[in-house]
Amino acid sequence: MGILDLAGVALAALLSENFILVNCMGIGTRVRSFRDPVDALRTGYCLTVVMVLGALCSWLADFLVFTRFSWQYYRLLFLALLIPGLVAGLRKFIRVCVPELSRRMDGNLAAVSTNCAALGSALLVAQRSYSLPAALLFSFLGGIGATVALASFASLREEVNFDSCPRCFRGTPILLITAGLMALALVGFYGLHVG
Amino acid sequence: MNSTRSLRLPPQVGQPSNTSAMMGDVLVALLPTTAMAVFFFGFRVLVLAAVSIGSCLLFEFLYRRLTGQSDTLRDLSACVTGLLLALSLPATAAYWVPILGAAFAILVVKQFYGGLGKNFMNPALAGRMLLATFPVLMTNWSRPLDRLPLLGVDAVSAATPLSYLHAGTLPPQTPGQLFLGQQGGCMGEVSAVMLLLGGLYLILRRVISWRIPTAYLGTVALLALLLPPEGVGSMAWMTAQLLSGGLLLGAFFFATDPTTSPVTPRGQLMFGAGCGALTMLLRSFSSYPEGVGWAILTMNCCVWLLDRAGMPRRFGAGRFSVLREWLSRLRRNLAEIRFIKPNLHFTLIKGGKMPGEEHLDQIRAQAKALSSLGAVILATGLVIFGVHRFTDLDTARAETEAQQELLSQVMPQAAFSSEIPYRAVGALSIQAGYSEDNELVGYCVEVQAHGFGGVVTMEVGVDLDGRVTGVAVTDHKETSGVGTEAMTPAALRRYVGKSGTIRSSGANSVDAVSGATATSQAITAGVNRALAIVANLDLEGGDVSYVDGEV
């Protein structure tokens, strides 16, 4: 796999398959992250770490076990156990070893365990049979893309007044419309193909 | 106002001082472009512009009236939105198209967020790009000087210079033609000279700052100059990139919208550079030939970030003092996070070490929790295994049937097929097709090509004379109802009997299905690749013949 292919995978993860805005895998992200930029950044960092670790584990399991014995039908069960287990292990480790970090990020990390993007990236990596560098790059840049999308969405709330729309649109509807407008901007990146 | 102005020394140049004067200036700057569009495409342009402006004004008026807010028609911003929206449409657009765009632009993008000055995305551009997601609407480009009738447009569709640039070749138009506007495209984007005239007028009147267009066009020019495709001169490539498509319209009129562009000077430069880089990225690698609109919309979402990054330095502060302060604060903040060496002791039981009542109780609780988890996992695993075993045979049978059906579609004269022990670059698999009496009839090659939404996988049957016997698309991500038009049995049957290299026009050609050009090109490329693979396979000689006896 050449540099160009890797760049294509990277750009796809960052833009044309943005986990939050395009692939609709923002489900399970906690509501506060859409409001508070700091919380959005923390969730984004946790998500990125979990996604990279998840992709690594998923790739290893797929390469060493599942494809070798053609047990692909166990993949979903394994991933559904892997991601919460990974998050639980990380939380335990951080609580014991880096208590200050745990004080700041524990809530975000706990919320990531049911995040769609973390599960989805591990599954996509296995389904598309990426090579190891491509898998790591895909999950890392996917996490970065999700972080940027979350943070820019959260900071839009400080810039834009969401209360001047008709009353029936106030609250969640106008937020969904805003997310839709941001996703409209990314439609142009659909089918981005490098090389 | 007048008193302060009279104190200045002459010569005095009037400068727009309120919103309606600014918007009026934008309208004046768009006049030459509109006139040129009328010259190229006929009076239909005027009617489309009138419909667009009228519907923008109507929607704005109705919304403000129905929600009981003050009337804002007099600031002319709705007129500017309407005219820009109309100018960024193809002249062949139906009359309902600008109305739909105006409704989206005025109601959703602008007024839902509080009206002029409070929206975060350019309304006219968002309306235009929403319409661009209806692919058939926006692919019918008429030729310039092909004046269109007011009703019942049936124009000859022409390739725009951008589709040539997208394919990595120079457009057939000379730079002079591109400069004057004798090219296919949207109504307002064809004439570069008129757009430059309007843009210069706006800059001289200080309605827009020079930074965004300069940074935008400069980035595009630099990237085009540095990275021309093979076999094309870099100067010619740069000129073509700058003069074709909506670049000038976008750089002067869409990217400089004061509401949706940064206010800090450095932020403006970064905004322009970002737009330029994204435009070149999209023009080279995306499925759409044009990327200006998408690039500006994407950068519109980042304006707050650029404004913060481009904040001017406080007077008297050192060069990097803000950055240094921020870094030291970050360092102090991160220094609180310390790694503490854990005091590890691997004991499951925290109570007494001696076996006793407490000990047993603890073990029992833990064992209960763990065993229920284990039982659930085991049960799920068993169920998955059982279901898989049950459906496995059916899956295999269905697969064989699907393969047989595929074979009958791709190579009707063959009765069965088998994989050959031969690999070729670009082929996912090669199967040899055999007739009833075990005679080799041809090869079925599975190939991939890049279409509009992603990879298109297809199976191409080629007989021993090197002619296509059939094409079947096995997997794709094209838009349903648009890209799939190129995959109907009738469309695929046109390839049967072709040989050599199939082109998109002229002799030995298969025309692209209208509205699904990218998909058609992908299928043609795939068929060509399969034909080349089979031709080279035959050249390799008889190392395939021994399979014949095996089967």
pLDDT computed for residue B545 by the predictor: 43
For residue B434, give both structure tokens.
Answer: 């055999």
pLDDT computed for residue B7 by the predictor: 59
pLDDT computed for residue B86 by the predictor: 94
Residue A114 has pLDDT above 90, yes or no: no
Instruction: Label residue B195 by pLDDT band (50, 70, 90).
Output: very high
For residue B188, give both structure tokens.
Answer: 């307002």
For residue B200, give both structure tokens.
Answer: 């210069």
Q: Taking CB atoms and an 8 Å cutoff, what residues of chain B touch A5?
A: none
Q: Taking CB atoms and an 8 Å cutoff, what residues of chain A touch B450?
A: 193
User: Is residue A91 classed as helix, strand or coil in its secondary structure?
Assistant: helix
Q: Are B443 and B433 in contact (CB under 8 A)?
A: yes
- Look at the block and give the residue holding tokens 């499951």: B348
Residue of B59, B112, B302 to mutate, interface with A, max A Cβ within 10 Å: B112
Q: Are B533 and B426 in contact (CB under 8 A)?
A: yes
Between CA A113 and CA A136 the distance in angstroms is: 19
Q: Which of A34-38, A126-130, A152-156, B75-79 has the highest mean pLDDT?
A: B75-79
Percent of chain B scored above 90 by pLDDT?
32
Interface pTM, i.e. ipTM = 0.86
How many alpha carbons fall within 13 Å on the CB side of residue B216? Answer: 29
More confident: B396 or B138: B396
Please, what is the angle between helix A37-61 and helix A132-159, to 10°? 160
More confident: B330 or B8: B330
Cβ pair B285:A193 closer than 8 A: yes
Scored b (16 or more CB within 10 A) or e, B50-79 reads: ebbbbbbbbbbeebbeeeeeeebeebbbbb
Between CA B124 and CA B129 the distance in angstroms is: 9
Q: How many residues does chain A have?
A: 195
Cβ pair A188:B337 closer than 8 A: no
pLDDT computed for residue B217 by the predictor: 96
Tens of pLDDT, residue by residue over B18-40, are 888 999 999 999 999 999 999 98
How many Cβ atoms are within 10 Å of B8's Cβ, its own excluded?
A: 9
- Look at the block and give the residue holding tokens 């400080």: A158
Chain-centroid distance, C-alpha B371? 52
Residues of chain A with a CB closer than 8 angstroms to some CB in chain B? 11, 73-74, 77, 81, 96-101, 152, 155-156, 158-162, 164-166, 169, 174, 177-178, 181-182, 184-194
Nearest-neighbour CA in chain A from B545: distance (Å): 32
Element (H, E) at B35: helix B19-41
Task: Give the mean pLDDT of B99-124.
Answer: 92
Cβ pair B381:A74 closer than 8 A: yes
pTM comes to 0.80
Angle of CA points B74, B80, B86, to nearest 5°: 135
Backbone angles phi, psi at B61, to 5 degrees: -60, -50
For residue A193, give both structure tokens.
Answer: 């193909």
pLDDT computed for residue B317 by the predictor: 76
Task: Give the mean pLDDT of B415-437.
Answer: 80
Angle of CA points B479, B480, B482, to nearest 5°: 70
How many Cβ atoms are within 10 Å of A128's Cβ, its own excluded?
A: 11
pLDDT computed for residue B465 by the predictor: 84
More confident: B343 or B200: B200
pLDDT computed for residue B413 by the predictor: 84
Residue B67 has pLDDT above 60, yes or no: yes
Between CA B19 and CA B23 the distance in angstroms is: 6
List of residues 6+ apart from A123 with CB closer than 8 A: A58, A75, A76, A79
Q: Can you list the positions of beta strands (E) in A30-147?
A: none
How many Cβ atoms are within 10 Å of B32's Cβ, its own excluded?
A: 17
Query: Which residue of B lies nearest to A93 if distances are taken between CA atoms?
Result: B342
Tens of pLDDT, residue by residue over B303-351, are 888 888 888 877 777 777 878 888 999 999 888 888 877 777 766 555 5
Phi-psi region at A70: left, alpha or beta (left = phi > 0; alpha = psi -120 to 50): left
User: Is residue A12 classed as helix, strand or coil in its secondary structure?
Assistant: helix
Tens of pLDDT, residue by residue over A56-76, are 999 999 989 888 888 888 888
Q: Are B185 and B141 in contact (CB under 8 A)?
A: yes
How many Cβ atoms are within 10 Å of A77's Cβ, its own excluded?
A: 14
Tens of pLDDT, residue by residue over B219-254, are 999 999 998 888 888 899 999 999 988 899 999 999
pLDDT computed for residue B502 by the predictor: 81
Tens of pLDDT, residue by residue over A78-103, are 999 999 999 999 999 998 888 888 88
Q: How many residues does chain B have?
A: 551
Residue A173 amino acid letter = P
Peptide bond into B342 cis (omega under 30): no
**Closest by Cα among B202, B247, B189, B181 to B28:** B202
Tens of pLDDT, residue by residue over B456-504, are 899 888 888 888 888 888 888 887 777 788 888 888 888 888 888 887 7
Angle of CA points A163, A169, A175, to nearest 5°: 75
**Closest by Cα among B377, B342, B350, B381 to B366:** B350
For residue B248, give both structure tokens.
Answer: 């000038």
In this complex, is the C-beta atom of B499 within 8 Å of any C-beta atom belonging to chain A?
no
The mean predicted confidence, pLDDT, of chain B is: 84
Nearest-neighbour CA in chain B from A28: distance (Å): 23
Instruction: Label residue B215 by pLDDT band (50, 70, 90).
Output: very high
pLDDT computed for residue B245 by the predictor: 84
Q: Are B252 and B207 in contact (CB under 8 A)?
A: no
Kindly tell me the sign of the dihedral angle through the C-alpha atoms of B199, B200, B202, B208: positive
Tens of pLDDT, residue by residue over B260-314, are 999 999 999 999 999 999 999 998 888 788 889 999 999 998 888 888 888 887 7
Residue A1 has pLDDT above 60, yes or no: no
Between CA B305 and CA B230 the distance in angstroms is: 37
Between CA A80 and CA A114 the distance in angstroms is: 9
pLDDT computed for residue B542 by the predictor: 45
- Look at the block and give the residue holding tokens 């970064």: B270
Residue B546 has pLDDT above 60, yes or no: no
Residue B219 amino acid letter = T
What pairs with residue A32 in β-bridges?
none
Helix %, strand %, coil % for chain B, to 5? Answer: 55, 10, 35
Q: Taking CB atoms and an 8 Å cutoff, what residues of chain A touch B286?
A: 188-193
List of residues 6+ apart from B8 with CB closer than 8 A: none
Q: Are B72 and B60 in contact (CB under 8 A)?
A: yes
**Closest by Cα among A108, A111, A88, A91 to A99:** A91
Cβ pair B112:A165 closer than 8 A: yes
Cβ pair B337:A184 closer than 8 A: no
Residue B6 has pLDDT above 60, yes or no: no
More confident: B346 or A114: A114
List of residues 6+ apart from B542 with CB closer than 8 A: none
Q: In what order do the strands lie in the sheet with B455-463?
A: B416-419, B427-434, B440-450, B455-463, B468-475
